[in-house]
Structure 1
Amino acid sequence: MLTAEPLAPEAPAQAGVRTVTVARRHQVADDVVELVLRRPDGGRLPDWAPGAHIDLVLPDGRSRQYSLCGDRWDAHTYTIAVLLDPAGRGGSRYIHEHVSEGDTLTFAGPRNNFRMAPSARQLFVAGGIGITPLIPMIEQAELLGTDWHLLYLGRSHAHLAYLRELARHSGRITVHCKDTDGRADLDAWIPTDPAVRVYACGPERLLDAVEAWAPALEHAPRVERFVARLDDRPSRAFEVIAARSGAAATVGEHETVVDALRRVGVDVITSCAQGVCGTCETDVVDGRPDHRDSVLDERTRAEGTCLLPCVSRCLDSRLVLDV
């Protein structure tokens, strides 16, 4: 999911935080460093599936989400790749400048908002560092013997991570670099077979273009976003009730559900606080959610049984949550 820094306050996820050491660090592309993480005691790490990410907690308390891009069958290591983002808030710069082999870090997760679904054919679309969650998906497709293709876009070959590792799949990969090929015509890649499952990760403009393919497909494209979508819909106040304690609060027009609950002593674990990581997903007991996240798919939204209280609101005057 998430290999660039999301917009967010700095509160890290605290539940299930574990310690790892940096077993290996090396450069995999211009401005992209790979970290291989192990438990200090060499023990087994939690299992994960393609599309999963971890919340990496930096020594200064900041939390960043990074997709797992290593071998999912290796139970003793996690691999992430971090793009240096000069316009970010310092998380990626800290990793690039200060994190070395042997250093200790903590993480929460893994979590997965970008799961693969059974399909005979798949199209993967990666923009730059967006390749990271797609690598385990490609390996899964190979394992299952499904028909797949990767469209990999970037500024230049030097900026595309893992090209050497992907070379063994050369017949299934199309690389398009802006410096040599110009701007890509994404609409030329709309699958002619509507049954193809599409998975995409990368910059917002790329994901918006891929999501626009939905009318031509049986299944809407699944995307993994770096940052939250801009949502400028008007907001109104409503009441939120914590079902477990009965605590209630009014959520103001310019306040989040999380902040309102914390005012009355009900804590909700958050990480990105922008609706992109899924850490705060909460079950809904009563009330119609006004979904404003970038995580839940349309089917889940329509069911109305959960929401992300860091950004989402309520369409009714009262929202009851299972907290």
Structure 2
Amino acid sequence: MTAVFRSRRVRALVVATGAALLVNRALRRRVEESPLWPMPALEEPVSGAGRPGRRELLVIERAEEAEGVVRLRLEGERLPGWEPGAHIDLVLPSGAVRQYSLCGDVADGGTYTIAARLIEDGRGGSREVHEQLHEGTVVEVRGPRNRFRLADCHAYLFLAGGIGITPILPMVRQAEREGVPWRLLYYGRSRVSMPFLAEIEKLAGAGGDRVTVVAEDEDGRPDLAAVLAGAPPHSAVYCCGPQPLMDAVAELLPEGLELHTEAFAPAAGTTGGAFEVELRRTGATVAVAGDQSILRAVREQALPNLPYSCEQGFCGTCLQSVVEGDIDHRDELLTDAERHDQMLICVSRCHGERLVLDL
């Protein structure tokens, strides 16, 4: 996915009381990376292994943002502030956990806004959002977290594919507010399927030369090489969308541009060499086959009721503490500091023959 970026500009952050507080973004980074973060005055209590605490939010608005895309506005008290690129974990009525980028206004301290596209052949999470979350529904939320931060730069090039516009939109808004030059390529199957298109075109301004909208059914596929070649030298390039789009951008990226991406799926697979996992508190040792995750091995051989959800390294439900062993991290959630002695056992593995978990 992406590294955690540092920033020096001063911007308004909404704290839990709902008041706007001007802070230095670089200072906030250092605070967030300290062992004391999140601070109780700014966040709900943390739960287990330092994960953000849970809170219940009320769906106060539901709208069809585009064909196959529903937008939800969630209201709650003492909501932690967030920055462009942040996402929340949404705990669905079935207990499944899915991640959605925050795409509302960072200055709105009382609500979070997300948008979800219906994935017909998916695992059912998006269908739950579309069919079961309505105005008046109470839903559990964790976070927000951010591994797709907007770095300081003299110019930005944004590339968004379909629902990938959700983390990009707040970045465009921030660049516009701060007067930093930006350009955006927004690509989708058709204009009716592209969420937030009206706002994007309004942000483009009268000339409209900062935004290129490509609807495949009308225009074919975008000329990524030309778009990237037109970026100012040393621009920061932010891309979110289907994996083929991000792979193509990475392959065509000119020298001197810095690429930041956010994926919808784990970048690495979950298979590898076989190894053993000792469960220190349980007193059992399980064998993990090369085509099997630690989670599956532990549930099948020792702890059948061990909780899990996404099985993709996003939600953190299967987070475990590591006592011994060389961890092969393959998740998209933990920070570098958290990876020292923790792992998500649904996707991560072992760089060796043995791991010991505090389980």
Q: Normalised by the shorter chain, which TM-score bucket?
A: 0.7 to 0.9
CA-CA distance at 1:167 after TM superposition: 2.1
Aligned match for 2:98, one of 64, 69, 80: 64
Give secondary structure in 1 for the equivalent of 2:119: coil
CA-CA distance at 1:24 after TM superposition: 0.7
CA-CA distance at 1:291 after TM superposition: 3.7
CA distance in 2, matches of 1:93, 1:228: 21
Aligned length: 303
Q: Which residues in structure 2 correspond to 1:132-147 (within 5 Å)?
A: 132-147=166-181
CA distance in 1, matches of 2:188, 2:295: 37
Aligned match for 2:159, one of 121, 125, 130: 125
Aligned to 1:166: 200
Q: Which residues in structure 2 correspond to 1:173-322 (within 5 Å)?
A: 173-191=211-229, 193-213=232-252, 216-217=255-256, 219=258, 221-229=259-267, 231=269, 234-239=272-277, 249-253=285-289, 254-259=291-296, 271-277=309-315, 287-294=325-332, 308-319=344-355
User: Residue deviations 1:159-186, cap 9 Å, x none?
Assistant: 1111111222223211011011112222
2:86·2:102 contact (CA, 8 Å) conserved in 1? yes
1:240·1:261 contact (CA, 8 Å) conserved in 2? no
Aligned to 2:123: 89
CA-CA distance at 1:115 after TM superposition: 1.7
Aligned to 1:18: 55
Check 1:153–1:278 CA distance in 2 against 1; reply closer, same or farther (3 A cut): farther
Check 1:281–1:200 CA distance in 2 against 1; reply closer, same or farther (3 A cut): farther
1:150·1:173 contact (CA, 8 Å) conserved in 2? yes
Aligned match for 2:145, one of 98, 102, 111: 111
2:228·2:254 contact (CA, 8 Å) conserved in 1? no
2:271·2:293 contact (CA, 8 Å) conserved in 1? no
2:238·2:261 contact (CA, 8 Å) conserved in 1? yes
Root-mean-square deviation (CA, aligned residues, Å) is 3.4
User: Residue deviations 1:33-90, cap 9 Å, x none?
Assistant: 1111112xxx221222211111111222222211110011111000011112222233
CA-CA distance at 1:274 after TM superposition: 0.9
Bigger mean CA offset, 158-167 vs 136-145: 136-145
2:99·2:314 contact (CA, 8 Å) conserved in 1? no
User: Residue deviations 1:103-127, cap 9 Å, x none?
Assistant: 2111111122212222112111111
2:319·2:344 contact (CA, 8 Å) conserved in 1? yes
Check 1:305–1:209 CA distance in 2 against 1; reply closer, same or farther (3 A cut): farther
Bigger mean CA offset, 208-217 vs 117-126: 208-217
CA distance in 1, matches of 2:52, 2:284: 24
CA-CA distance at 1:194 after TM superposition: 5.0
CA distance in 1, matches of 2:307, 2:236: 32
**Structure 1 counterpart of 2:243, which letter?**
E
CA distance in 1, matches of 2:324, 2:149: 27
Aligned to 1:5: none
CA-CA distance at 1:211 after TM superposition: 2.5
CA-CA distance at 1:306 after TM superposition: 6.3
**Structure 1 counterpart of 2:174, which letter?**
Q
1:70·1:79 contact (CA, 8 Å) conserved in 2? yes
1:15·1:269 contact (CA, 8 Å) conserved in 2? no
CA-CA distance at 1:150 after TM superposition: 1.0
Please, which runs of 5 or more residues in structure 2 have no aligned partner? 2-47
TM-score (norm 2): 0.72
User: Residue deviations 1:230-267, cap 9 Å, x none?
Assistant: 6376322144576xx696744512433345566667x9
CA-CA distance at 1:145 after TM superposition: 2.2
CA distance in 1, matches of 2:263, 2:350: 23
2:60·2:73 contact (CA, 8 Å) conserved in 1? yes
CA-CA distance at 1:206 after TM superposition: 0.8
Bigger mean CA offset, 275-284 vs 159-168: 275-284
Give secondary structure in 2 for the equivalent of 1:132: helix
**Structure 2 counterpart of 1:19, which letter?**
E
1:129·1:202 contact (CA, 8 Å) conserved in 2? yes
1:238·1:316 contact (CA, 8 Å) conserved in 2? no
CA distance in 2, matches of 1:58, 1:238: 33
CA distance in 2, matches of 1:211, 1:108: 31
